[in-house]
Amino acid sequence: MKMSFMVLHIPHASRTIPDDVRASFLPDDTAIERELLALTDAFTDEIVADFHSEAERVIFPVSRLVVDPERFPDDANEPMAAHGMGATYTRLSTGEPLRVLDDAGRRRLMETYYHPHHARLESAVAGALDRHGHCLILDVYSFPSTPLPREPDQRIPRPEICVGFDDFHSPFADGAAVLRVCAAMGFTADINRPFAGSIVPSRYWNADARVKSFMVEIRRDLYMSEATGMKRADFAATATRVCALMEELVRRVTERSGAC
């Protein structure tokens, strides 16, 4: 199979909490289930299952309640650490305690989950650069229709699709053109709202312009019940529409850059 220059990164789809980690959590099962419903980007791995089968997928295997691979590893550099939601959460999204972590416990979690995940992502990007001389990362998430208490952007209503990127690694010449593509495909959308940026491994971040990255976030009520966590009846049709949008954005990127 031909290896793609694209890397599909899916960090928050899992609900898995290993037994030893669950034993360290303070809330009861009902509270943990409620938090999983609020924080898991449910079904995002399934939504993009049919997107570019040759793209290399890097999927975080456990819940972000275990470790959040999207946070900076050093709490001093991570704004959400002030809310107890750095790479290793010590509080729920509502502010109640999740667990008590000493330095050794945090280090063990980071070594078991965080660092291996980032090593896989960096390896995937390095492989694409070796094969093609360039790499495009697609960072896939979802977000609730109503902001959670600790989210920086509390504005409503929220767009159906958020496309995020930073200036250095952006694959797009014009954010307005991105919004026009989204609108043409039937989605309300915004750039870097309610969340901004897109992941790039630290080795390449703000240093290697051959690595491009953009984030696609899907508002959850488009494809699931936010109250129950169940898929909507039109889940498959929505997944098809989202994949088509991503395909069109990638087509525009490759057309502009001549990448293949």
**pLDDT tens, residue by residue, 103-134:** 999 999 999 999 999 999 999 999 999 999 99
Contact 187, 223 (CB under 8 A): no
The whole-model pTM stands at 0.95
Q: How far is CA 137 from CA 41, 86, 161, 197, 221, in A?
A: 18, 23, 17, 12, 25
- Architecture of the domain whose range is 6-257: 3-Layer(aba) Sandwich (3.40)
The predicted structure's pLDDT at residue 1: 42
The predicted structure's pLDDT at residue 258: 63
The predicted structure's pLDDT at residue 259: 58
Q: What is the pLDDT of residues 29-62, one digit of tens each?
A: 999 999 999 999 999 999 999 998 789 999 999 9
Q: Which amino acid is at 110?
A: M
The predicted structure's pLDDT at residue 24: 98
Residue 59 neighbours by CB under 8 Å, 6+ apart: 10, 11, 13, 14, 45
Kindly tell me if the per-residue pLDDT of 65 is higher than 50: yes
Residue-wise DSSP of 178-232? HHHHHHHTT--EEES-SS------TTTTTT-TTEEEEEEEEEGGGTB-TTT-PBP
**Is 102 buried (19+), middle (13-18) or exposed (0-12) by CB count in 10 A?**
exposed
Q: What is the pLDDT of residues 217-232, one digit of tens each?
A: 999 999 999 999 999 9
Q: Using CA atoms, how far apart are residues 182 and 162, in angstroms rounded to an integer?
A: 10
The predicted structure's pLDDT at residue 52: 83
The predicted structure's pLDDT at residue 35: 98
Q: What is the pLDDT of residues 159-214, one digit of tens each?
A: 999 999 999 999 999 999 999 999 999 999 999 999 999 999 999 999 999 999 99
Residue-wise DSSP of 161-191? EEEE--TTT---S-HHHHHHHHHHTT--EEE
Residue 256 neighbours by CB under 8 Å, 6+ apart: 171, 173
Residue-wise DSSP of 55-97? SEEEE--S-TTT--TTS-SSGGG-GGGGGT-SSS-SB-TTS-B
Q: How far is CA 60 from CA 55, 149, 206, 253, in A?
A: 16, 25, 23, 26
CA 18 to chain centre: 21
Q: Using CA atoms, how far apart are residues 18 and 111, in angstroms rounded to an integer?
A: 15
